[in-house]
Homo-oligomer: A and B are copies of this chain.
Amino acid sequence: MALLVQKFGGTSVGTVDRIRNVARRALATQRAGHRVVLTVSAMSGETNRLLALAHEITKIPSAREMDVIAATGEQVTAALTSMAIQAEGGQASSLLGHQVRVLTDNAFTKARILSIDKERIFEALDRGEIAVIAGFQGADEHGNITTLGRGGSDTTAVAVAAAIGADECEIYTDVDGVYTTDPNICASAQKIERISYEEMLELASLGAKVLQIRSVEIAMKYGVPVHVRTSFNDTPGTLVAKEDSALEGMVVRGVAYDKGEARAHVVGLEDRPGLAAELFEKIAEANISVDMIVQSAAADAESRAGITFTLPKSDLARGRTWIDSIAKGLGAREVRYDEDVVKVSIVGLGMRSHAGVAAKMFRLLAREGINIQAISTSEIKVSCLVASKYTELAVRALHDGFGLSAPKASV
C-alpha cells in the first residue's frame, strides 16, 4: 500500500467530463489499495476569466485582492472533484489552502510555501477518503489568502507529498513526460524515463516548461519522487528522482532553449578594477536579474573594455532606462540591446566527470556556422547565447551530436 499524491492541471479538469475521469482514475488507484491525495488546478480558462473580471474594475488591481479572486478557481475544482468521486461511489472531501494550513510568506501572487499541516490530510485519509486539495493557494500568518504564481499547483502537490511523506507525486499534464528536447522543433526528441532532480532543475530553469522550478527544488530537498505523465492514457511518463548510478554513462540528458532573454552590451567602459562590480551592484539595486555575463578585456589603444550580459525580456522595457543611466554614470560610451537571441543549453550530471563537453558543444555549433555571443556554465550544464534565427538548427545539432537522437533501445 503506497501513499500517493496525484496532481491534475487545468486541462485535465477543464470540463465536467474530464473531472469525472480524474475522479475515476483516483478511485481506481485507491481501489488498487493505495491512499490517495489529489491536488487540482482551476478549470482551464477559469483563472483568466477571473483575472479579466478584476482588470475590468481596475488596470492595477491590488495583489492581495487578486489572490482572493484567483484562489476561487481551485476552490471550485476541488469541490467539484470531491462531488465527482462521491458520485462514483467513493468518499472524498475538498481541502482549501487555509484548511490544510498551507502557510506561505505574504508575497501575494507569487508566495512561497513555508509549511503544510499534514494532520488535516491524514484525518481525511484515515476516514477512507480521497483528500482533494485545492492547488496554487495558501494563507499567510495573518490568514490572508495567497497564491503561488502560475503553475503553482505543481508546487502544492510536491510540497504536500513532502509534508505527508508520500511514496510518489504524480504530475498529470497534457504531455506524456519530459523529453530530451522540445519535440516541436526536434522530431527525434525522446521521452526520458528517469532524470535526476539536478538535471530536471537545470532543464526547467533553462526553458523546459513541463514542471515549475520551485516544485523541483522542493522535490529535491525532500527526496520526493515525481512522476510526470499524461492524464489522457496510462503510459508511464518520466520519473524525476535521485541520481541513478545506472545512468551515469549518459553525459548529456537534454537540450533546452529559452527565448525569454535579451542581451545588453555595454560599450567603451574604462578598464579599471571594480567597475564590473559597481555596474552589477547598481543593476541589482534596480531589481533587474542578470543571467549570463561576459567581460571583454580592453583591446584598443584607449584601453576601453566591454561587458555583455543578459536579462529577462520582460524586464527590458522597465530596465532599459535604468541600465542606460547606470552605464552612463560609469563612463560607458553606449549600451546596445538585442532581443533576437536564444539561450541554448545542454544538461547532464555526467559532465561532472567528463572533460571536453563544453568544447564539443562549441565545435558542434561552429560546424553549423553559428556564432556564440555569450557562454555560461555550471557543474552540470553549458549554455550558449546565439542569434534566435539559429534556434532549431542549434538544438538539432546538439541533440544529434550528443547522441540523444539514438533509438530508445540503445540508450
Residues of A within 8 A of B (CB): 16, 19-20, 50, 53-54, 56-58, 61-62, 64-66, 68-69, 71-72, 75-76, 78-80, 82-84, 86-87, 93-94, 96, 98-99, 143-145
Contacts and interface: CB of A to CB of B under 8 A. Distances in A.
Nearest to A73: B72
A74 to B, nearest CB: 10
B98 A76 contact: no
Q: Looking at chain A's contact residues, is the secondary structure mostly helix, strand, loop, or mixed?
A: helix
Given A58-B84, A62-B83, A87-B57, A72 B68 contact: no
A19 B54 CA distance: 11
Nearest to A101: B143
Contacts of A69: 75-76, 79-80
A57 B72 contact: no
Nearest to A87: B58
Contact of A83 (B57, B71, B76, B96): B57
Given A20-B57, A87-B57, A65 B50 contact: no
A20 B58 CA distance: 10
Contacts of A84: 57-58
Nearest to A17: B56
Contact of A82 (B16, B65, B72): B65
A80 B57 contact: yes
A195 B87 CA distance: 48
B83 A65 contact: yes
Instruction: State the copy count for this chain.
Output: 2
Given A62-B82, A69-B75, A99-B143, 6 more contacts: A16-B53, A19-B57, A62-B83, A68-B75, A68-B76, A72-B76
In the A-B complex, list the 4 residue pairs whose CB atoms are closest, starting with the nearest.
A58-B87, A72-B72, A68-B79, A65-B79
A145 B95 CA distance: 10
Given A75-B68, A75-B72, A56 B16 contact: yes
B96 A68 contact: yes
A267 to B, nearest CB: 44
A79 to B, nearest CB: 4
Contact of A76 (B53, B56, B64, B99): B53
A65 B69 CA distance: 19
A86 B62 contact: yes
A68 to B, nearest CB: 4
Contacts of A54: 79-80, 83
A311 to B, nearest CB: 31
A53 B80 CA distance: 8
A12 to B, nearest CB: 15
A152 B94 CA distance: 23
A341 B56 CA distance: 48
Contact of A50 (B53, B56, B71, B76): B76
Contacts of A20: 57
